[in-house]
Amino acid sequence: MRPWPALAALILLGLSPAWAAEHGGGGEKKKPGKAPEHKVTQSVSWVEVQDFYTTIVGNGHATGMLMVRVGLDVPDAKIRENVERSMPILRDAYLRSLMTYTATQVQLDTQPDAFAIADRLQGITDRALNKKGARVLLRQIALRAK
């Protein structure tokens, strides 16, 4: 029996941690962390707002959903800081307004009025911040039938 295969295996086993670490293996498990955040834009002035879903009611029951995707363009750093701090209040006011709009204005057979939605959200933003400077930008409006 030749000793070379056994010797080769011992050498490879002895070198494997160094070789693996050098080549990215290392045998170390990566710690689970937060998934990378998807950004719509790299602009510093952009503030992302979570999507809104409201229920469309017809004939006494839910017939579909309205989805509104929005973000804010806030060039002024002080106002942007205020927006980020006030986001729970803004989101609550946006959602309440969109629920009212959906209940009174949205039907599955017609497209929602994007200008009316944008105007509602912009008015809420200006009132909540007590000044202008954060511009509401609609990204998407969609209807989904149940």
Look over the chain and give the mean of its residue pLDDT values, rounded to a whole number: 84
pLDDT at 77 over 80: yes
DSSP summary character for residue 3:
S
Domains of the chain: 1-31 (no CATH), 46-145 (3.30.479.30)
The reported pTM is 0.72
**Alpha-carbon gap, residue 94 to 19, rounded angstroms:** 56
pLDDT of residue 25: 52
Angle (deg, nearest 10), helices 114-129 and 87-105: 150
Q: Which two tokens stand for residue 63?
A: 């017939």
Q: Where are the beta strands (DSSP E) in 43-109?
A: 46-48, 52-58, 61-73
- What does the pLDDT look like over 85-137, one tens digit per residue? 999 999 999 999 999 999 999 999 999 999 999 999 999 999 999 999 999 99
**Alpha-carbon gap, residue 75 to 135, rounded angstroms:** 9
DSSP summary character for residue 24:
T
pLDDT at 51 over 90: yes
